[in-house]
Chain A
Amino acid sequence: MNKFLKAISMLLIIILVFIPTGCWDNKELEERAFVLGVAVDRLKAGDDILLTVEVPKFAAAGGKQAGQVEPMITSHTGPTIFNAIRHFTLSLGKKLFWGNVAIVIVSQDFANKGIFPLIDFFARDPELRLSPFLLVAKATNANDILKGIKGQTETMASEQILGTLKTQNATGEFAADSLHDFVEKLQAPGIQPVVAVIEQASGDKDYIVKGIAVFKDDRVAGWLEVKEAKGYNWLTDNIKGGLIKVDYEEPKAVVVMEIVRSSTKTKVELVNEQILFKPTIKVAVNIAALDRAIDITSSESKEILKKATEEEIREHLEDAFSKLQKIKSDAIGIGEYIYRNNPTYWKTVEADWDVEYFPLVKLEPEIKVSIRHSGFLLKPTKLR
């Protein structure tokens, strides 16, 4: 081979190396609009999808307003999500970039009909990620939520909602699941996905996140209210903090316990065709507040407080469990536990698990509460 041919073939090889590396995009930052939040609605008329996005709008660098960010909310419709996304280029002048989406809100309508199109698109497209958190807008349109947020703590509404979801550990009153969690639960046998619920709030609040939407496959099957949501979190070892209000009988007082640590170990037993769900919950609490000066230092009163706390937790668990059984959706993953530990039995119940078998499961919780300390005060401040 002569030198020239050799050089040409080397060049071709080098060029070929670059071609099969797939698609990627060289775009300057200012040609991109970063989508931070997405709201998905189904239009009342027909099956068209209304897609609303929140993108930051920056002031030009070097100018007087340099560095300032403003939220911009805009929507487009289309027969599918991808169509709607492409329609944005018709009006924006920038290409939407989907790598940094923080939250996805779907409306109740959309969720009722199944969110599979959304999940599929997010999982399939290389630019999108499964990291954003999923929320269901209860009793309102998803885009109304996004539009209604004035931005109280953050400039961008999506950032504020993301912040809200990340502080789940302060209350434990909802479940913050990402699209990734959703997909994982959707695919796993014997467990159903859940999603946090966002609602329009009255007064000076833009929105409120509370409760859980329980799915059956990709459709909403029912709702867990605050107390049930807390119970659900306890059953799934998802409590990282929060408060427990306990009534003290003699003398009558209200004691607020703050959860320091909580761990749940679950066990499922099969006794005479009866499935027993046995979660062991260990909770460490601090006494956070009293509404009356009562003596809480004695071992008897501590014992009483412990019992009362356990009772309170048990009530939460039972509420959540019976609600889930009523919804007929095993969001706790009891089926998954059986699938892992007794696959032969799981095969016999798999087909009708959620409808037939799950509602008959018996809950036998074991709760161990330990009171750590009572804050900076040993005895309550004396009133004179």
Chain B
Amino acid sequence: MKKLMKQLKNTAYKKMFSSQEEDSKEELTLKASLANNRHLIKNSLGNSSDIIIRDLLVNGVQCSLVYIDDLADKSKVQEYIVEPLIKDFNDRDRISLNWLSNKVASPEVRFEAKLKEILAYINAGQTVLLLEGETVALILDTINEQYRSVTTPPTELVVRGSHEGFIESISKNVSMVRKRLKTPNFRVIDQQLGLYTNTSISICYIDGIAKDEVVEEVKKRLGQIDLDGILESGYLEEFISDAPFSPFPTIGITQKPDIVAAKLLEGRVAIFCDGTPVVMTAPFLFIENFQTPDDYYNRPYFSSIFRLIRMLSILISFMLPSLYVAVVNYHPDFLPTNFLMTIASASEGVPFPKFIEVIFMGLIFEILREAGLRIPTPMGQTVSIVGALVLGEAAVGAGLVGQPVIIVTALVAISSFAVNFALTSTLIIMRLAFLIGGAVLGLFGVTLVLLGLIIHLASIRSFGMNFLSPLAPLAVSSWKDSFLRLPWWLMGTRPARLSENPVRQKKIKQLKQVSSDE
């Protein structure tokens, strides 16, 4: 398998290198002639119809504005550049680019001579001001910042705590996190990825808390990506995650700035990607699948109970169908007689084996889920009616499936929604693996698959951290925030080995004494 992948990669690389032409625009710079420069830029952009070139006469000197329609905010162009420049100026002779840069009202001004850079700025929505006789262009910030407003992410709802969610603008997203971490130690490293998309990527961390090795590793892995386009952080995730074949995600994703802030405070590194509200965090541990922001905002009893319930539901979601098939088909004597008789009477005359029944109902549920996701909202009700009535009631009524199978499927379905959304596909794969184990070998098979699963989980890593940490390797100090969530005033340290600086509260010892004195 690995060899095959390597081969595929190699051929892909070879193709890429052979097709990649020498970039001729690289060395080109602006000339002193305005007409020449205009022509150069227009040609480089292929005379696209959405390029707008506005010619201006500033005190008799010819100059041109180049920007792309709608990428640059026209009102900004008007307000920042055109309006200040069309005034009459007294000092006729001193018109220069430097002089102009003092006259325009743009908040950000840069000088650039290289054509390649200039084109990149134009593509980003900046406006380029060219002046007759100058070999340098003025880059003015007119980026159109009309984005979706900040709303609650529909996939990560909380009862208590911030309802803010990320949007599609990377600068806005980074600022939303910085707003929560008002420290000079907050660091942002920018990077552009994707041959054609030139997507902005930001790596954020807190200096002194995050481990330098992890930051370096993230930078290194991102730097190795050589893809033509990055449209979503998922593209990056597949490139930089440690165990690409594992069904378990080893990079965390979230749409909530408060979660990112909390993870940065634990020593993790966040990777922002322009154009998506999904931000990745690394290293990502298995235990994080059970942690939600609600856990930290509510009282520890609440958090601990629901964390245990989440763990129970992942077990149910993994194993219940396989346990049902295994116990009923191989070990019916495990069940109390009355319970067994109930199940037996419900499956009398059902034409299919239990395994097929469970697979069948599970498949129907997945189809319903997928249909529910894709269906236009006005028709959503149809799905629920067809799903609930036709499939549930009728299948049992017609004697096609037994009632216990419906209960098992429903319980699995509900449980699968109680755990991290990113695990959905993992759950389906693991459920199937368990089910086959249980159907072929009974409880022995279920145990075998469970063993395999634990071996797999213990063997994978995420950016230097063992995925199963703090369970394996054992780090009892991190158990403060794994199965249970201890009160905040007891959490004196950050998760073990994750951070450069493990001390979260310096005064924890005093605090402990105060509480024990009382």
A residues apposed to B, CB below 8 Å: 18, 21, 24-30, 32, 34, 36, 56, 58-63, 66-69, 97, 99-100, 102, 127, 129, 159
Contact (Cβ within 8 A) A67 B345: yes
What number of residue pairs across chains A and B have CB atoms under 8 A from each other? Answer: 90
Q: Which residue of A24, A30, A34, A129 contacts B341 across the interface (Cβ within 8 Å)? A: A34
Cα–Cα distance between A97 and B341 once the two chains are bound (Å): 12
Binds A, one of B17-25, B198-206, B347-355: B347-355
Contact B340 A100 (CB under 8 A): yes
Task: Let me know if B329 and A28 touch, CB within 8 A.
Answer: yes
Contacts A26-B442, A62-B397, A62-B398 given; indicate if A100 touches B346 (C-beta within 8 A). Answer: no
Which single member of B328, B333, B399 contacts A60 (CB below 8 Å)? B399
| Cα(A25)–Cα(B328), bound, Å | 11
Q: Does B396 sit at the interface, judged by CB under 8 A?
A: yes
B345 touches A34 (CB 8 A): no
B194 within 8 A of partner (CB): no
Question: If the complex has contacts A26-B330, A100-B340, are A61 and B347 also in contact, measured as CB distance less than 8 A?
Answer: yes
Q: Do B354 and A58 touch (CB < 8 A)?
A: no
Residue pair B346, A97 in contact (C-beta under 8 Å): no
Asked whether A61 lies within 8 Å of B348 as measured between CB atoms, the reply is yes
Q: In whole angstroms, how far apart are the Cα atoms of A56 and B340 in the complex?
A: 11
If over half of A's interface residues share one DSSP class (helix, strand or loop), that class is named, otherwise mixed; here it is loop
Nearest CB in chain A: distance from B383 CB, A: 24
Shortest Cβ gap from B21 to chain A (Å): 40
A62 to B340, CA, bound (A): 18
Which chain A positions have C-beta within 8 A of B330? 24-26
Does residue B403 face the partner (Cβ distance < 8 Å to A)? yes
The 10 closest A-B pairs by CB, nearest first: A99-B333, A62-B399, A60-B349, A58-B348, A58-B345, A100-B337, A29-B344, A29-B347, A61-B399, A26-B329
Q: Report yes or no: B348 in contact with A59, Cβ–Cβ below 8 A.
A: yes
Bound complex: CA A18 to CA B447 (Å): 12
On whether the beta carbons of A69 and B341 are closer than 8 Å, the reply is yes
Consensus secondary structure, chain B interface = helix
- Does B252 count as interface, using CB distance less than 8 angstroms? no
* Nearest opposing residue in chain A for B345, CB measure: A58
Name the CB-closest residue of A to B394. A62
Is B333 a contact partner of A28 (Cβ separation < 8 A)? Answer: no
Q: Which of A24, A27, A62 contacts B396 (CB 8 A)?
A: A62
Q: How far is the CA of A280 from the CA of B350 in the complex (A)?
A: 59
The answer to whether B333 touches A68 (Cβ under 8 A) is: no
Report the Cα distance A27→B353, complex, angstroms.
9
Shortest Cβ distance from residue B325 to the other chain A in the assembled complex, whole angstroms: 9
Which of chain B's residues have a CB closer than 8 A to the CB of A69? Answer: 341, 345
Checking A29, A59, A100 against B333 with a beta-carbon cut-off of 8 angstroms, the contacting residue is: A100
Closest to A99 in B: B333
B332 touches A32 (CB 8 A): yes
Pair B348/A60 contact, Cβ less than 8 Å: yes
* Residue B301 is within 8 A (CB to CB) of chain A in the complex: no
- In addition to A18-B441, A56-B341, A62-B397, 17 A-B residue pairs with Cβ atoms within 8 Å of each other are A25-B330, A26-B330, A26-B439, A27-B329, A28-B329, A29-B329, A30-B344, A30-B349, A32-B332, A56-B344, A58-B341, A61-B396, A61-B399, A63-B349, A66-B399, A100-B335, A159-B337
Residues of B within 8 A of A (CB): 328-333, 335, 337, 340-341, 343-350, 353-354, 396-400, 402-403, 439, 441-442, 444
Contact present for B402 and A24 (CB under 8 Å): no
- Bound-complex Cα distance A228 to B331 (A): 42
- Which residues from chain B contact A18 at a C-beta distance below 8 Å? 441
A34, B346: Cβ atoms closer than 8 Å: no
**Which chain B residues lie closer than 8 Å to A34 at the CB level?**
332, 337, 340-341, 344
Q: What is the CB-to-nearest-CB distance from B481 to chain A, in angstroms, rounded to a whole number?
A: 38
| CA of A25 to CA of B332, assembled, Å | 11
Asked if A61 and B345 sit within 8 Å, CB to CB, the answer is yes
Q: Pick from A28, A99, A102, A127: contact of B353, CB below 8 A.
A: A28
In contact, A29 and B343 (Cβ under 8 angstroms): yes
21 A–B contacts, CB within 8 A, in A order: A18-B441, A24-B442, A28-B329, A29-B332, A29-B347, A30-B349, A34-B340, A36-B337, A56-B345, A60-B349, A60-B399, A61-B349, A61-B402, A62-B350, A67-B346, A69-B341, A97-B332, A97-B333, A99-B331, A99-B332, A100-B340
Residue among B330, B341, B345, B350 with max Cβ neighbours from chain A (10 Å): B345
Chain A's closest residue to B350 (CB) is A61
Q: In the complex, how many angstroms separate the beta carbon of B83 from the nearest chain A beta carbon?
A: 74
Q: Given the complex, which residues of B lie within 8 Å of A129, measured CB to CB?
A: 333
Q: What residues on B are CB-neighbors of A97 within 8 Å?
A: 332-333
Chain A residues positioned under 8 Å from B400 (CB to CB): 62
Query: A63 and B399: CB pair below 8 A?
Result: yes
- Residues of A close to B328: CB separation below 8 A: 29
Residue of chain A at shortest CB distance from B329: A26
Q: Which residue of B lies closest to A102 (CB)?
A: B337
Q: Closest residue of chain A to B395, judged by CB?
A: A62
Report the minimal beta-carbon distance from B172 to chain A, rounded to whole angstroms: 53
Say whether, besides A26-B330, A34-B332, A99-B332, A61 and B346 are in contact (CB < 8 Å): yes
B333: chain A residues within 8 A (beta carbon): 97, 99-100, 127, 129
- Shortest distance between the CB of B205 and any CB in chain A (Å): 43
B398 to A100, Cβ gap below 8 A? no
Cβ B344 vs Cβ A62 within 8 A: no
The CA-CA distance from A66 to B333 in the complex, in Å, is 23
User: Within 8 Å CB of B346, what residues of A?
Assistant: 61, 66-67
Choose one: B335, B403, B439, B444; the contact of A21 (CB below 8 Å): B444
Q: Which residues of B contact A63 (CB under 8 A)?
A: 349, 399
If A61-B403, A100-B340 touch, whether A68 touches B345 (CB-CB below 8 Å) is: yes
B471 to chain A, nearest CB (A): 26
A21 to chain B minimum Cβ distance, whole angstroms, is 6
Compute how far the CA of A127 lies from the CA of B332 in the bound complex, rounded to whole angstroms.
10
> Which chain A residues border B345 with CB–CB below 8 Å?
56, 58-59, 61, 66-69
> Smallest distance from the beta carbon of B382 to chain A beta carbons, Å?
25
Q: CB-nearest residue of chain B relative to A14?
A: B448
Residues of A within 8 A of B403 (CB): 61
- State the Cβ distance, B344 to closest chain A Cβ, in Å: 5
Q: Are A30 and B442 in contact (CB under 8 A)?
A: no
Contacting pair B399 A30 (CB below 8 A): no
B-side contacts of A30, CB under 8 Å = 344, 347-350
Measured between beta carbons, the chain A residues less than 8 angstroms from B348 are 29-30, 58-61
Shortest Cβ gap from B127 to chain A (Å): 61
